[in-house]
Amino acid sequence: MNVATRQADAPRKRSQMRRLSLVVTVFIAILAAFFLRPQPGPPIRIGVLHSLTGTMASSEAPLVDAVRLAVEEINAAGGLLGRQVELQVVDGRSDWTTFANEAERLISEEKVSALFACWTSACRKAVKPVVEKHQHLMFYPVQYEGLEQSAHIVYTGSAPNQQIIPGTRWAFDHLGKRAYLIGSDYIFPRTAHRYIRDLAAVSGGTILAEHLLPLGAPTRSAQIEEIRRLQPDVIFNTLNGDSNLHFFRALRDAGLEKTPVLSFSIAEDGLTAMGPDAFHPSHYAAWSYFQSLPSASNRRFVTAFKARFGADRVTSDPIEAAYVGVLLWARAVREAGTEIPEHVNRSIVRQSVAGPSGVAAIDGATRHLWKTFRIGRALANGQFAEVVSSEETVRPTPFPGYRGFADWQGISVALEAKSDADHRGQP
């Protein structure tokens, strides 16, 4: 090959080399992108600890579904921090000792990043020291008696000034002053009854009688006959779990279903379980959420819940609070950039989300949510028709302001001691 030919081929060879170099570069880039791209990390595990058996199962099992729906929505949108969220569901068996033991196992052995747990205050009080010992994080989704704050718990249900206290005032103003108290025998009903007695004293009300029943126990015929004899203007009902079913059916069977009742722990799923014959338009409940709320955000929530778990299923205040708790936790995880409880716990107090009942915002001072107070009238179709609501969301006050903090602490200790002594059969 002469010089002229070699010179003519040189540009072609250089072009070929450039193309080959480009192909090699692209191939290497593709390999690097494939092998060096961030791989999904292990799932972020959360513990879901509710009663799936025992007297509280009918109330608590739907809360597991609420958490599951929120997690599935989060995972469908890409998860958290590029990872999926995984549920560890455990049965608390309607027993506070089981709750405490399972909380310890979920934190120590399963290494969950947060707990979504409990209905009764007895179970919450059993789990609270476990969570605090590990400096972990728990979300509690049910209205309760207050007189508590923890740096490791977020209370997404109503505080007493958002439910029990305004509900009692409404009942004394609209139903009558002569009241009968019936509840389950643990700390929430005992404390709620203390609030009701305090409000009766300042509003001219009269407490005709008070009875506390073991969880799951049926209403006794003597109590029904007492209601017939005393003819109260209103029954304040703090029964929980299956005891509500027994109570309302006993009223119906005795022909006393027209007696006005204001309940603090019965929601839509309870109405559905009892059936339409047990109810009358004079039966009410105090909550912050009802399935019947007409907002677009609530309609989307109800539609999604029914699509996932069945057209016959209903939502409720505790279900909404459990669902919102997961959304708040997820926002805190994103802000913290980690699922580690210590870091999430610092960011959680700044969070708010648009929930089915409106904006759910955590009050940083108390770790409770701002809530709307509502009264609903029970309907035969298993729903509540809202009859009154607060004009604005109510700031949570777990220690009601009509007594000092020290007074409430003393009352709380005394109520817990009395409850513990009664359960041990002591005077």
Does residue 154 sit in the same domain as residue 66?
yes
Output the pTM of the full model.
0.88
Contacts of 36 (CB under 8 A, 6+ apart): none
Per-residue pLDDT at 213:
95
Mean pLDDT of the chain: 91
Is residue 215 in a domain? yes
Q: How would you class 24 by CB atoms within 10 Å of its CB: exposed for 0-12, middle for 13-18, buried for 19 or more? A: exposed
Q: Is the pLDDT of residue 186 over 50?
A: yes
Residue 34 has pLDDT above 70, yes or no: no
Q: Are 349 and 368 in contact (CB under 8 A)?
A: no
Mean pLDDT within 281-297: 97
Residues 273 and 419 in one domain: yes
Query: Is there a contact between 289 and 267 (Cβ–Cβ < 8 Å)?
Result: no
CATH number at 193 reads 3.40.50.2300
Q: Is the pLDDT of residue 50 over 90?
A: yes
* pLDDT value, residue 424: 44
- In-domain check, residue 31: no
31 pLDDT above the threshold of 90: no
CA dihedral sign, ordered 218, 224, 226, 230: positive
Question: Stretch 23-39: mean pLDDT, rounded?
Answer: 46
Assigned domain for 36 exists = no
The answer on 250 and 165 residing in a single domain is yes
Residue 53 has pLDDT above 50, yes or no: yes
pLDDT at 18: 63
Q: Could you tell me if 75 and 175 lie in one domain?
A: no
User: Which has the closest alpha carbon to 111: 177, 56, 44, 57?
Assistant: 44
Structural domains counted in the chain:
2
Q: How many CB atoms lie within 10 A of CB 108?
A: 13
> Is residue 196 located within the same domain as residue 245?
yes
Residue 426 pLDDT level (bands cut at 50, 70, 90): very low
Average pLDDT over residues 285-310: 98
Report CA-CA distances (Å) from 40 to 110, 114, 327, 361: 20, 20, 21, 31
Residues 78, 182 within the same domain: no
Q: Region 165-172: what's the mean pLDDT?
A: 98
Claim to verify: residue 75 and residue 216 sit in the same structural domain = no
pLDDT at 416: 83
Please indicate, yes or no, if residue 272 is contained in any of the structural domains: yes
245, 275 contact by CB (below 8 A) = no
Q: Is residue 339 within 8 Å of 44, Cβ to Cβ?
A: yes
Residue 349 has pLDDT above 60, yes or no: yes
Instruction: Classify 82 in phi/psi space as left (phi over 0), alpha (psi -120 to 50) or beta.
Output: left
273 and 206 in a common domain: yes
Residue closest to 141 by CA, chosen among 371, 405, 392: 371
Band (281; pLDDT cuts 50, 70, 90)? confident
Provide DSSP, 291-316: TT---HHHHHHHHHHHHHH-TT----
For residue 71, give its domain range. Answer: 44-158+294-371
pLDDT tens-digit series, residues 118-163: 999 999 999 999 999 999 999 999 999 999 999 999 999 999 999 9
**Mean pLDDT within 270-282:** 83
* Interatomic CA distance for residues 93 and 90, integer angstroms: 9
Is the model more confident about 393 or about 10? 393
